[in-house]
Structure 1
């Protein structure tokens, strides 16, 4: 039986690659983002190439009512969601007390509230039929505090914690929750967040590679998976438990300070 995946932030980057991967497996899709032209183009591309059904929902997930609207539309059209992929998110650099509050508030609404509410809306159905998978796109940023991206790192830590907790709560069911933690990835994220001007983004993984790793981990029901890490990045993460927190904070701050102002 065909599996339908609902993917947020599907117009570009990791979300778009996840949509392509799922369609290549013969799965139908519900793709969601603000960018209507990009979604409609992706819809046509996937339907033509793979012969799957692709439904487009144009929504700004920073709107507090958007998640309920999405769920209501899915229900009203009698669509079954088998895989919920919470991919939408954004970041932004700068000192917490200097960044525009409106931007950080929107970040929390998207990275935390939208993901949490969509999971809460769809999980009861998954549990009732004892099938379904959730893939939450977190970040290796979830593993440490993030000076110069304090709110972004905090939102991703929330995603990791929430995903792991729900995974345990569902351990007596066939429903799984996977937490995907990419490192620096070649997507629009770098440009929109300003991270493309930092040393952290000097070496990036491909969005296709990260998406495939996450998709495979979701199908296997893994709890956590890291993706797209260089040898140096892997070594740094492995050293975290042994490194004094102040040293970590200074290191992260330096890595995330734009080069022209470093």
Structure 2
């Protein structure tokens, strides 16, 4: 029960990695606040968490692109849970289309969720963490933010923006005892691909290397309280990102083949 009585806010909590993060956090004794758009899934998850673990759980039906709803939710969280100890910005989605194919509206919407949602939630959590003199914001980015592939330009751009935001924010709040961690997963076996890859072609081609979301969730929760800046999952893909920066031309050819599987 390492996280007993700590309050952890998780966005995108209704399914996939967000759901597994909630279970892993509750298993460690944390009180969990769930944020997502689908009330039925949130309600069922709250019931299961409270049945399985002696923790408090609350949920808010919120779209992270709605600034007013996010503000109201975070205000209530601070009142009901005596502040926020950890924020995990997990909400996000992708679409695998070329720049020419994708509409500008889809591009804007992806940035609204993947980038501005992270910025808004992080900004609102900071005041509570500063009052406590400690805190941890964990942003679920992506290895796509380090190594982009074709048909994922907008998605990679949004995750690259998250990395840049996190790295700058870390410098601003270090003096306040607040940690900022980027977690960069590769392909993961979640409903992400139901939207990103409707044909199922890409998901099928990378099925053998897909990460288990339960294991990723456990890893993420284990990072809480540690001043770790960046975690790549799996580690060998993270090594590939470093190779990409050192040998861009060779890596470009390799990533062309990988991206064309989409």
Does 1:222 pair with 2:237?
A: no
Shift in Å, 1:78: 5.9
- Residues 1-262 of structure 1 mapped to structure 2, 5 A cutoff: 2-75=5-78, 77=80, 79-194=82-197, 196-198=200-202, 199-229=205-235, 231=236, 233-245=237-249, 247-258=250-261
Structure 1 alignment gaps of length 5 or more: none
How many aligned residue pairs are there? Answer: 256
**C-alpha separation in 2, matches of 1:201 and 1:154:** 24
Distance 2:63 2:43 in 1: 16
Check 1:104–1:47 CA distance in 2 against 1; reply closer, same or farther (3 A cut).
same
Secondary structure of the structure 1 residue equivalent to 2:181: strand
Distance 2:95 2:168 in 1: 27
Unaligned runs of 5+ in 2: none
Q: TM-score with structure 2 length normalisation?
A: 0.89
Q: Deviations over 1:126-174 (max 9, x none)?
A: 1232111111100111113332111110111111111122222223332
- CA separation in 2, counterparts of 1:128 and 1:77? 16
| TM-superposition CA deviations, 1:216-235 (whole Å, max 9, x none) | 22331211111235x4x355
TM-aligned CA deviation for residue 104 of structure 1: 1.9
SS at match of 1:65: helix
Looking at structure 1, the residues matched to 109 and 98 of structure 2 have their Cα atoms a distance apart, in angstroms, of 17
Cα distance between partner residues in 1 of 2:8 and 2:61: 16
CA deviation map 1:48-75 (0-9, x unaligned): 0002111011112233433223223324
Equivalent residue of 1:145, what SS? Answer: coil
Aligned Cα root-mean-square deviation (Å): 2.1
Deviation at 1:12, TM superposition (A): 1.2
48-57 vs 163-172, greater mean Cα deviation: 163-172
Kindly indicate whether the alpha-carbon contact (under 8 Å) linking 2:141 and 2:183 is maintained by their aligned counterparts in 1. Answer: yes
1:251 Cα deviation from its structure 2 partner: 3.5
Is 2:147–2:241's contact at 8 Å kept on the other side of the alignment? no
* Conserved 8 A contact 1:57-1:70: yes
